[in-house]
Amino acid sequence: MGRLSTHVLDTSLGKPGAGISLLVERIDGPDGNGGRQRVAEATTNDDGRCDVPLLEGDALVVGEYEMRFSVGPYFDRTGAASSGSPRFLDTVVIRFGIADASEHYHVPLLISPFAYSTYRGS
């Protein structure tokens, strides 16, 4: 059974990104610019993970998705927020595709106050 999961790691502190809220939207339309449907919301736990898969089974379908991570409040809580307003990073958006709904798609996010990266994990 396919599923979607995530994990947030704060590379500036060497710790999991705990308490980060995120949402997942499915992008409809052949060019990825159609309507959006919110399909999941979660907050990362103390290990920077979500307690359950974001999507699984019939809820995970082939298509384009966006994950939006609200990292600004996390940086405020950890004291890592950049000086000035607006923050350099406040919301990190990752757009990705699901080509085979029977597979596990793990989308980790590595963050610091001034950079982020992602990849397809396992």
77 and 21 Cβ atoms separated by less than 8 Å:
no
Which residue range is the domain that position 35 belongs to?
A: 3-118
How many of the other CB atoms lie within 10 Å of CB of 63? 16
The number of domains in the chain is 1
Q: CATH code at 104? A: 2.60.40.180
Question: What pTM, to 2 d.p., does this model score?
Answer: 0.92
What's the mean pLDDT when you consider all of the chain? 93
Structure token pair of residue 73? 């409040």
E strands in the chain = 3-10, 15-16, 21-27, 36-43, 55-56, 63-70, 91-98, 104-112, 115-118
Mean pLDDT highest for which of 19-33, 69-83, 92-106?
A: 92-106
Q: What confidence score (pLDDT) does residue 5 get?
A: 98
Give the burial class of 4: count Cβ atoms within 10 A of its Cβ; 0-12 exposed, 13-18 middle, 19 or more buried: buried
